[in-house]
Structure 1
């Protein structure tokens, strides 16, 4: 009997050694074209994005087989690119489903904090060049931006569900975007439920408040859902004269840049077609995709970032929900 007890204690009841499976290494096994197809970015771009978010995502140790920053960025980019279930991402990246959810949340928050760095409205020194690009696009003079809203569909939230039902009967976040002629995003508002009208989002935005006080040196083009202001030009509801028809045609050719921008954004990041998360998480993911879109559309921005981006930790993400 004593011998059996001795063997029992020697076996250390309940202990089982953890076995870690080898994770895929996309950066080593895929070509540049294959990386673009799966993650929407190449090797250099992925490393650049990883350096941007490294201060927030870097683990202090490698205990418990911790994910590297590059692996976290790849998991998030894979989700942004295809927008499928977490289980599918987990199977392809060699991690657990809950890990994918935590990584997407962490990476989205880190990228959202960079919003003010990558979204800038044209300055006084850039306005002349912006006007020229817009005029070449649609013969519309004095244009410095185009504005429109797009809906990011989400699953029915657990709280205030009715506020997120848009005019098409689907739950969504109504996202306001201002773009330039190069399809880069210069301003955004990501906070309002889908039932809120475009005009209200515009009136409540910081862009409206600032430009009402300090009128810009140019005009922003908008559709008929927006108010007509000295710095906001909308089309004629009914063109009765040849000059009004020419104006509407030029307005439409120029304003279609924001329609193309919305299409490119949702095609590049398919997750924005439907997000299976709560509204707060949907706003974070949308902001992250907006930052990544500008990185993809403006590669020259990489030269503007300092080598050590530790100061970016102090930049607050500009998202949230209106107070009741």
Structure 2
């Protein structure tokens, strides 16, 4: 059996691969990799002149290789030519550095972006005044050493339940990455800074969510049972619009295979997830292509995390807003 070919990640490493080979191994091309290295350089520049020190570029490539493959640290190390402990240390450090940039790369649309976002959502699903779609998705992790029962989700697996808000271009505009898998989607929203902010300062637009979320003036959910043609049209438009968040989740997890299963403790998992969110937005904004037809294969719609009858909390003001939308647009 042929031995794996080591990836030589030295100063000229990027030049030895074609663009397609870089995408396949690291999910990014030459220029975006250099851009990412410059982003983390202030945190990852070694202050030593020892000959065996790792350059920032090499650290980034090690991190990107792990995010892209999701394989064991030992395998990443064997392929790249460093030991397992070095891969572990580098992935941890690079993830922390990238996670620290989340506020720089993840934000709701503002000013002129709002009108553009609404227009793109309208083209996508004929849903008016929409500036975002919301949903949660689980990232499976190994059983933690402490309080492991909190991380067991309804399917009996340990996970982190992450909340994502996205736009029609599949950019992540808000995220919450900290809750154990046993926590319901609606609670994650209720406890989030996003909820507190939007309950106080109304958005110039609405966010669309499925029936696991409460119906609020700024958060539109579908009718549980449409009783008129207009309500049925609203539900159809709502469903088409929400396809964006399903596609976003699919692209995120396929671009970074590590998100299928993380063999680290919860805090380390959260840093890796945040790093991948930052990288996803960088890739999407820079039109970095995927290596497969992921854009044509949406992620299967997940079953609700909780009974619809329990979480369909239709507040009066939310109902008024939804009725007005149906009346004026459907």
Q: What TM-score range do you get, normalising by the shorter chain? A: 0.7 to 0.9
Q: CA deviation at 1:125?
A: 2.5
User: CA–CA distance in 2 between the matches of 1:48 and 1:144?
Assistant: 28
Residue 236 (structure 1) aligned to one of 197, 218, 223 = 223
Residue 253 (structure 1) aligned to one of 229, 240, 251 = 240
- 1:158 maps to which residue? 145
**Alpha-carbon displacement from aligned partner over 1:55-89 (angstroms, at most 9, x marks no partner):** 11111223151111000000000000010000100
Q: CA deviation at 1:217?
A: 1.1
- 1:193 maps to which residue? 180
- 2:291 maps to which residue? none
Residue 52 (structure 2) aligned to one of 65, 78, 93 = 65
1:94 is aligned to 2:81: yes
- 1:134 maps to which residue? 121
CA RMSD in angstroms comes to 1.4
- 1:214 maps to which residue? 201
Residue 135 (structure 2) aligned to one of 148, 156, 177 = 148
Do the aligned residues in 1 keep the contact of 2:40 with 2:94 (CA within 8 Å)? yes
Q: CA deviation at 1:299?
A: 2.0
- 1:16 maps to which residue? none
User: CA–CA distance in 2 between the matches of 1:166 and 1:212?
Assistant: 28
Deviates more, 1:87-96 or 1:231-240: 231-240
User: CA–CA distance in 2 between the matches of 1:71 and 1:127?
Assistant: 38
**Alpha-carbon displacement from aligned partner over 1:136-172 (angstroms, at most 9, x marks no partner):** 0000001010000000000000001000000111000
**Helix, strand or coil at the partner of 2:98:** helix
| Aligned counterparts, 1:244-323, within 5 A | 244-299=231-286
User: CA–CA distance in 2 between the matches of 1:28 and 1:89?
Assistant: 20
Gapped regions of structure 1 (runs ≥ 5): 1-20, 301-324
TM-score by length of 2: 0.83
- 1:125 maps to which residue? 112
Q: CA deviation at 1:127?
A: 1.1
**Alpha-carbon displacement from aligned partner over 1:236-259 (angstroms, at most 9, x marks no partner):** 111222111111100000011000
Residue 49 (structure 1) aligned to one of 24, 36, 44 = 36
How many residue pairs match? The answer is 280
Q: CA deviation at 1:273?
A: 0.5
**Helix, strand or coil at the partner of 1:126:** helix
Instruction: Name segments (4+ residues, structure 1) moved above 6 Å.
Output: none
User: CA–CA distance in 1 between the matches of 2:101 and 2:217?
Assistant: 32
- 2:296 maps to which residue? none
- 1:12 maps to which residue? none
